[in-house]
Structure 1
Amino acid sequence: MKKIKLYTAGLLVMILANACKKNLDTYTGQNNIYFNEAGRLPAFNGEVIRDSTVMSFSLAKNTDSVVNMIIKITGAVSDQDRSYKLVIDPVSTAIPGKHFDALPQTFSIKKNKLQDTVKIKFHRTADLQAQNYTLFFKLVANENFSTEMVDKLINATTGQRLSFIRYRWFLNDIVKKPGRWTDGYLGVFTRKKLSLLAQVLNVEPSYLDTSVSIAEITAYGKFMQRYLNEQKAAGNTIYEEDGSEMIMGSLVQ
Structure 2
Amino acid sequence: MNNINKIIIAVVFLVCITSCKQAELEYHSANNTILFEGIDQTGNKGYVPQDTNSFSFGYVPDNIKDSLYFLSVFTTGGPQSIDRPYKIDFSKNSTLKEGIDYELLTPQFVIRSGEVRDILVFRLLRTPKMQTDTLFLDMKLFPNENFETEMVNQIVGTGINKKKKNFTTHHFTVDDIAGAPWFWDPKKNPSATSLMGYLGDFSAKKFQIMASRFNWDLDVVTAEKYMPAANLLVAWSKSMQVYLNQMEAMGTPVYEVDGITLMKMGKYAQ
What TM-score results when the alignment is normalised by the length of structure 2?
A: 0.66
Equivalence for 2:35: 34
Partner of 1:85: 87
Query: Is structure 2 residue 213 aligned with structure 1 residue 213?
Result: no
Cα shift at 1:225: 3.0
Using the alignment, how far apart are the partners of 2:45 and 2:237 within structure 1?
30
Number of residue pairs aligned between Structure 1 and Structure 2: 219
Q: What is the match of residue 125 of structure 2?
A: 123
Partner of 1:110: 112
- Is the 2:102–2:124 contact (alpha carbons within 8 Å) kept by the matching residues of 1? yes
Asked if structure 1 preserves the Cα contact closer than 8 Å seen for 2:106 and 2:121, the reply is no
- Percent identity reads 25
Query: Structure 2: any 5+ residue segments left out of the alignment?
Result: 1-27, 185-191, 222-227
Matched residue SS, 1:226: helix
Please give the per-residue CA displacement for 1:12-54, whole angstroms capped at 9, x wherever unaligned. xxxxxxxxxxxxxxx99642111112xx531467697531112
Q: Cα offset for 1:220? A: 1.2
Q: Is the 2:89–2:139 Cα contact (8 Å) retained in structure 1?
A: yes
Which digits, 9 at most, give the CA deviation of each residue in 1:123-145, with x for residues without a partner?
33343232211111111111111
- Mapped to 2, the partners of 1:53 and 1:44 lie a distance apart of 23
2:174 to 171, 182, 187: 171
Distance 1:30 1:216, change over 3 A: closer
Map Cα deviations across residues 50-89 of structure 1 (whole Å, 9 max, x no partner).
3111222333345433232111112243221111112212
Does structure 2 conserve the Cα–Cα contact (< 8 Å) formed by 1:225 and 1:247? Answer: no
Q: Is 2:51–2:170's contact at 8 Å kept on the other side of the alignment?
A: yes
- For 1:63 and 1:195, the matched residues in 2 are separated by 15
- How far 1:189 sits from its partner (Å)? 2.4
8 Å CA contact 2:214, 2:236 repeated in 1: no
Cα 1:145–1:197 change in 2 (3 A) is closer
1:203 aligned to 189, 200, 214, which one?
Answer: 214
- So what's the TM-score if we normalise by structure 1? 0.69
- Code of the residue aligned with 2:92 in structure 1: it is P
Counterpart position of 1:59: 59
Larger radius of gyration: 1
Gaps of 5+ in 1: 1-26
